[in-house]
Homo-oligomer: A and B are copies of this chain.
Amino acid sequence: MSLIVQKYGGTSVADAERIRSVAARIAARHRAGDQLLVVVSAMGDTTDRLQALAREISEHPEARELDLLFSTGETVSMTLLAMALHALDVEAVSLSGAQAGLRTDTTHGQARIVKVAPERIQQELERGRVVIVAGFQGITEELDVTTLGRGGSDTTAVALAAGLGAGRCEIYTDVDGVYTADPRVEPKARKLRDISYEEMLELAAVGAKVLHPRAVELGAVYGIEIVVASSFTEEPGTLIHGGVTMEQFNKVRGIAHDLDVAKVTVRAVPDQPGIAATIFEALAEHQISVDTIVQNASVERLTDVTFTVAGDDLRKATPIVEQVAKKIRAAEVVAEEGLGKISIVGTGMQTAPGYAARMFRALSDAGINIDMISTGEIRITCIVHRSDVEDALRTLHKTFELEKAAAGEL
């Protein structure tokens, strides 16, 4: 008898019918003799509705109250799933984040898990029950309810798998796995049989929203294999794991894209230590995430610092940067909207020559102008005009032959 940890996302439990269908899947596994620990998200768009309700009441709802409010969404779905299992004569019990022992810090809205105390879960599993746990929520030492931030149910599932020594975690969602690229843009995109934690992180961080990045990080740290699959089909999904096989090494695994990028350039910055820190500390204080950063080689002790932010953040970022620019005596601040981002991701690309050159050549041949370039361990990213992003994706998918399975892959 082995312990299986599963997580079902919001679309998988969006209404009574889907909850009954998830219950039937769980019941089948339970009858096959497995111990089951199931993490659920809130039904459908519940969290968005609760957020809208809070905004009707207050422009700046307090984070502690917001967390308590949001936590009701998962409480509803977990109790309904337990009822659906009872209706199938399967013993089941639902546990809140508090009852499941998910202790977090006190950062309401973005809490980090500090400890998993799984005694109650273990007791219930030993009694032969399916244990259903509310995702996304935890509890502080003072017994206040916290939430882990959007997509936090994935993190709950991987943390519980780690806390209970499960070794593996199944994430059921509305897509059937991780693809070489977004299939809505490139119909030839192929589902990957497996992918490494690092590759998955790069794909997720640059726009492939299949799995919450913190869940992948946690999986990497605790060595939990994660399977991403659809709750609507019986198709095998994608396995995210630590080992990289020979066939996968040194190959582009996938392409990520993002259609909402803006760019800010601080021109003619005096090239002194601490200048970059001054700019980016000011942005961090205002909770603005900065993505790609490029600093040119300096000419006559003057340099240009360019960085990208999400399009939504540009209006907030510009005045902050202008104030800093004045202080550090930079010449001017130039902002540009309407950009996008395209990245190729694959372990070992950095050490193998030619990937970057092939990427730039392919884009150039397709008439696509590259605005900025940045590279990471296992990723090469180009900033291009937003209207070129989808063309770029299809071009690169073909160039790196992603529609073809690698040797050893299905």
Contacts and interface: CB of A to CB of B under 8 A. Distances in A.
B94 A79 contact: no
Contacts of A68: 75, 78-79, 94, 96
Contact of A84 (B57, B64, B83, B86): B57
Contacts of A83: 54, 57-58, 61-62, 65-66
A146 interface: no
Interface in A46-82: 50, 53-54, 56-62, 64-66, 68-69, 71-72, 75-76, 78-80, 82
A16 B56 CA distance: 6
A144 to B, nearest CB: 8
B84 A79 contact: no
Q: In this complex, which of A19, A76, A82, A83 has the most chain B Cβ atoms within 10 angstroms of its Cβ? A: A83
A143 interface: yes
Given A50-B76, A76-B50, A82 B94 contact: no
Contact of A143 (B72, B84, B87, B99): B99
A257 interface: no
A26 B46 CA distance: 29
A20 interface: yes
Contacts of A80: 53-54, 57, 65, 69
Contact of A69 (B57, B76, B86): B76
B87 A57 contact: yes
Contacts of A143: 98-99
A75 to B, nearest CB: 5
B16 A57 contact: yes
Given A75-B68, A75-B72, A143-B99, A57 B94 contact: no
Contacts of A60: 86-87
A344 to B, nearest CB: 45
A76 to B, nearest CB: 5
Given A53-B16, A56-B16, A79 B69 contact: yes
A interface, by DSSP: helix, strand, loop or mixed?
helix
A79 B66 contact: yes
Contacts of A78: 68
A98 B64 CA distance: 16
A84 B58 contact: yes
A84 B59 CA distance: 10
Contact of A20 (B54, B57, B71): B57
Nearest to A62: B86
A32 to B, nearest CB: 23
Nearest to A56: B16
Contacts of A76: 50, 53, 69, 72
Given A16-B53, A68-B94, A58 B86 contact: yes
Nearest to A80: B57
28 contacts: A19-B57, A20-B57, A50-B76, A53-B76, A53-B80, A54-B79, A54-B80, A57-B83, A57-B84, A57-B87, A58-B83, A58-B84, A58-B87, A60-B86, A61-B83, A62-B82, A62-B83, A64-B93, A65-B79, A65-B82, A65-B83, A65-B86, A66-B79, A66-B83, A69-B75, A69-B76, A72-B72, A99-B143
Given A20-B57, A75-B75, A99-B143, 20 more contacts: A16-B53, A16-B56, A16-B57, A54-B80, A58-B83, A58-B84, A58-B86, A59-B87, A60-B86, A60-B87, A61-B86, A65-B94, A66-B79, A68-B75, A68-B79, A68-B94, A68-B96, A72-B72, A72-B75, A98-B143
